[in-house]
Amino acid sequence: MAHPIIFNGSLGLGLMLVSLGLNATLRPNHHLQSLEFPVPTEPLAKKFSLALMKIWGIRNITVGVLISTIWTTRDEKLMAKALSAALAMPITDGFVSRIIIGGGETQHWVFPPLLVVMIAGLFGYF
């Protein structure tokens, strides 16, 4: 069995995803600015940008609720598998940030090493 801090930390990650997703869904302008993305001034581009931010928010809410729900099962292997699937999110988001605004990837890439350690612990490697 993994240390309880590792397993319970996954709930913290899930709830953090939900909170970020809610902010992006309910306040897309603010969330774009906090991620240092430009908010377009042209109406159609702005509408598109805000729609994408809402999609990003719903994605985060969905994955966060999934991780939080798995936490209630106390199944460490299932949590490790869910976190393994979620690992693609911060990696991809970091590349998108780097491509679009030329930086900001470290806001996302701080999470993969943490996830890898948590996944290894949940799979029983230490």
Q: What pLDDT sits at residue 101?
A: 94
Question: What is the reported pLDDT for 7?
Answer: 96
Which residues of the chain fall below pLDDT 50? none
The first and second tokens of residue 112, run together, are: 């993969």
Q: What is the pLDDT of residue 74?
A: 97
